[in-house]
Amino acid sequence: MRNRPGRHTARFLAAQHGRGVSNPRRGVSNRQGAGARRSGAAAHRHRRTTPPGDHRGLARGGVTLLVCTGLVWLHTPAGATLGESEGEATSPFWVEPGGPAARQVRLWRERGREADAAVLERIAGRPAAVWLTDQDPKEQAEQITRQAEREGRIPVLVAYNIPHRDCGQYSAGGADDAARYRAWTARAAEGIGSRQAWVVLEPDALAQWASGCVPEPAASQRLALLADAVRTFKARPGASVYLDAGNPGWISDQQRLAGAMLRAGVGRADGFALNVSNFHTTPVTRSYGDRLSALLGGAHYIVDTSRNGNGPLLPEAAHAGAHAAAPVPRAGIAAPPPRNADGRAPTEDRIHGVAGQAPEAGGDEPWCNPPGRALGTPPTLATGSPLIDAFLWIKRPGESDGTCRGAPPAGHWWADYALRLAEATPASR
């Protein structure tokens, strides 16, 4: 029987409360987190134009607590999202204390940059997913889930090691072959054990398959591998699994995508994930997600809101700034020497590129470290939608999309960009 995130979360938090574990964020979803009845997906961010109307935000709404059948239900008015304080009050998810944003905050405070450190707390103090990319993920998964359990929280993990990952682009890599990938997912699941975790499965993998960039033999194996991964993670009693299904600007043929999701095992998963590492606004993502859900018999889904506060960069703006340098310091403030989170100098690990290499030209890729973006709705279970199980920060704000616009490699921390995300005032949520 499939796990339901709502029931999962309720039991977990109730158990923590019964053991006397401090848990100020007691919220539980108003849904039973219905696992998608069909198949799951994958994808992310590549070279797609912005859908019309992708610049409007949702109105903010309040939270109503209802007691029913022994559970706490969270309800927001239809079409509403939460402000920062309300979102934090309805999030059971784990905040990584030693993440790059937290390390940067400590470093800046040591160096007297109190104002910047305070701004960056908007990232450091909120839950963000941890990406499992190690060759053997067992230790990392075990360490994270044990720590989160001790703190009465639920970690969000991203499994990201599919063969021919990212079609050889900025995040190229992954397992060498199908057998090694199956072994990798087994080790990750073993690390989770019987503890609680939400698992986002293979960003980009399905949408890239649908777009035709995956070569053989990886293409013919991919959907079966994803289905195997769903089974492997769902065999763990505390795991909720969401297969990535891309973003509203990528695969327009939703019938084709839904068919691939069915073959990839979404029917055994808890749902699918949208907008991972992208910037599409929540209303646009919800419209796309609801249509895809209907093709899958009412599958639930989650949305990455980590950087969608200002929506995506328009293609013409992306082209105009394609070769722009790293963000310009604020007026009247001297730019500090760029350093990474643990204080190393640029010659050791450059914040604006790879030491000893010239950064790649950025092109006009609007998804790759676009300027002028902002943080989106903080992680929460109170989404205002019966189909959306949670808004999550799956992409970790401040980590690079790739070596474009003077950025470091994909997944590397970029403090300047993180600061500007946190400083920006969202135009939409």
The pLDDT confidence band at residue 39, using thresholds 50, 70 and 90, is very low
Active-site positions?
A: 166, 204, 401
b/e per residue 389-407 (b: at least 16 CB within 10 A): bbbbbbbbbbbbbbbbbbb
> Does the residue 332 lie in any domain?
yes
pLDDT (0 to 100) of residue 26: 29
Domain that holds residue 49: 5-91+128-423
> Does the residue 103 lie in any domain?
no
pLDDT digits (tens, 9 = 90+) for 337-379: 333 333 333 322 222 222 222 333 345 588 899 999 999 999 9
> Does the residue 117 lie in any domain?
no
Q: Total domain count for the chain?
A: 1
CA angle 33/34/36 to nearest 5° reads 125
pLDDT (0 to 100) of residue 236: 98
> Does the residue 272 lie in any domain?
yes
pTM of the predicted structure, to 2 decimals: 0.76
Q: How many CB atoms lie within 10 A of CB 219?
A: 14
> Does the residue 102 lie in any domain?
no
Those residues with Cβ within 8 angstroms of residue 323's Cβ, 6 or more apart along the chain or in another chain: 361, 362
Of 5-14, 100-109, 155-164, 394-403, the one with minimum mean pLDDT is 5-14
> Does the residue 403 lie in any domain?
yes
> Does the residue 66 lie in any domain?
yes
> Does the residue 106 lie in any domain?
no
| Locus of tokens 């949702």 | 58
b/e per residue 175-213 (b: at least 16 CB within 10 A): beebeebeebbbbbbebbbebbbbbbbbbbbbbbbbbeb
Of 20-24, 155-159, 180-184, 401-405, the one with minimum mean pLDDT is 20-24
CATH number where 352 lies:
3.20.20.40
